[in-house]
Amino acid sequence: MSASNNTPRRRFLKNVGSAGAGFAALQVFGQTTQAHNMEQSKPSAAYMGNFAAPALERVKVAMIGVGARGSGHAKQLASIAGVQVVGICDVVEARAKKALASVTQHGHTPKLYTGDTQAWHKMLDETKPDAVFIATPWNTHAPMAIMSMQKGAHAFVEVPIATTLKEMWDIVDTSEATGKHCMMLENVNYGREELLYLNMVRQGVLGDLLHGEAAYIHALRFQMENGDSTGSWRTFEYAKRDGNLYPTHGLGPVAQYMSLARGEDNFARISSFSSPAKGRAAYAKQSEKLSFPQFKELNFKGGDQNTSIIKTALGRTIMVQWDETTPRPYSRHNLIMGVNGVLAGFPNRISVEGLTPSYHEWAQGKDWEAIATKYEHPLYVRLGEVAKKMGGHGGMDFLMLYRIIECLRLGQPLDQNVYEGCFWSAVAPLSEKSVAEDGMPQNFPDFTRGQWKTTAPLAIVA
């Protein structure tokens, strides 16, 4: 970035946090290519793959970042039985006070921490939470999660869990050393369709699995006009980095269908290619409502679309696409294929030998609903209607938060472990290196140090 852009960027860093920045002083860009193939051989203090923490009758919760995502989390957590919200932190006082008002309606009286980018340190020391929910810019996720665990709390981190492989290793090491969960808040795993397809796969409907397709296709160029918001700091990420930067919404469900890093199979390597970078620069050039004038001057390196192919240890394949630029309908693909047929999303459709009339036509609409009724995930049967009323991406957010609290109170393993969050997030830095090397395959580090083979596949919980 040229010197002429430094002053606006400093103003941006000072006010960053519309996604809930609690640590804005850290450098936005972070390191993206360090130690891509890092392996660490030291023995783990405690393997977290099947880890269940001691049951908590009451879960004391603290929030770091209550902007677009964190404010929703605070409100929904406050409505769940067994939760006590003890602290709320955000660099912007108005956001912190707004979140405070939403949780006091449910009888909570948390302490407020704001105005200082280090205020979250004080919150951890004073409130001594059992669980910390982090919804801040990407480059702050790792340091906040690590310190939260070191202070004795379980850490729950918005997507992605971290931005570099070194940070991911540091998170794994800290989780193992402290015996504290660190879970990435991948809410899409709790969508109705994703839960349904997981149940169908577990019941053997598809037979042996062969291939999956995952995506995050979401036209979000307009976020460059949203002021001090998510688009403000993400725009700089997209300008500097070229790869598959937001893979987990599509990949998380497919990875759990395949039981990757959970006893059956694991990530092996990835090849990645990006299209030319044209759309964001064109949009910035014509827009008269940009949040920061320097957006017009940015040299956007990130391709408008990235396509990555993952090969697993068993030889399965997963296509992962990312495009937040092109004006087209939203899609996560959500496709899983086995020897007996295919389950797919966007639109929802099924073609399975013996289950649907013909493999020449998809079962859609009423036919899809009839199949869904037969195989509905028991968690959705139990909580689906409540979740839809609570909101948050159609109820996904509430189901995810409810399950976290339920597992902590019952002393059960979480639905997503720390290794899964790191494997799914590792796609971003690995894809960047692959793109830079014209698609050369990159090996995934094994964050489990070989212990994934002992991890139980995600069960179909009732």
Q: Are 413 and 53 in contact (CB under 8 A)?
A: no
The helix or strand, by DSSP H or E, that contains position 78, with its residue range, turns out to be helix 70-78
Question: What is 366-391 written as a DSSP string?
Answer: HHHHHHHHHH--HHHHHHHHHHHHH-
Which of the 8 DSSP states describes residue 363? B
pLDDT digits (tens, 9 = 90+) for 53-79: 999 999 999 999 999 899 999 999 999
86 and 129 in contact (C-beta within 8 Å)? yes
Closest by CA to 309, choosing from 410, 442, 183, is: 442
Whether the CB-CB separation of 302 and 242 falls below 8 Å is answered with yes
- CB burial of residue 240 (10 Å; 0-12, 13-18, 19+): middle
State the residue for tokens 């014509």.
286
User: Which amino acid is present at 191?
Assistant: G
Residue 305: strand, helix, or coil: coil
Q: From 368, 348, 345, 373, select the one nearest 357 (Cα to Cα).
A: 368
Sheet holding 111-114, edge to edge: 111-114, 83-90, 59-64, 131-134, 154-157, 182-184
Entry pTM: 0.91
Q: Provide φ and ψ at 413, rounded to 5°.
A: -60, 150
For 155, the 3-state DSSP assignment is: strand
What are the residue ranges spanned by the domains of the chain?
9-23+55-185, 189-454
Residue 203: count other Cβ atoms within 10 Å of its Cβ: 10
Summarize pLDDT for 327-364 with one digit per residue, the tens: 999 999 999 999 999 999 999 999 999 999 988 999 99
Backbone angles phi, psi at 319, to 5 degrees: -90, 130
pLDDT at 41: 47
Q: Is the peptide bond before 160 cis (omega within 30 degrees of 0)?
A: yes
In whole angstroms, what is the distance from residue 228 CA to residue 139 CA? 17
Q: What is the pLDDT of residue 166?
A: 98
Q: 363 near 349, Cβ under 8 Å? A: yes
Closest CA to 2 of 303, 282, 293: 293
Superfamily of domain 189-454: Dihydrodipicolinate Reductase; domain 2 (3.30.360.10)
Left, alpha or beta for 227 (phi > 0: left; psi -120 to 50: alpha)? left
CATH code assigned to 9-23+55-185 = 3.40.50.720
Instruction: Count other C-beta atoms under 10 Å from residue 449's C-beta.
Output: 17
Per the CB < 8 A criterion, the answer to whether 377 and 196 are in contact is yes
User: Quick one: pLDDT at residue 42?
Assistant: 56
Predicted pLDDT of residue 12: 34
Instruction: Give pLDDT < 70 ranges for the chain.
Output: 1-44
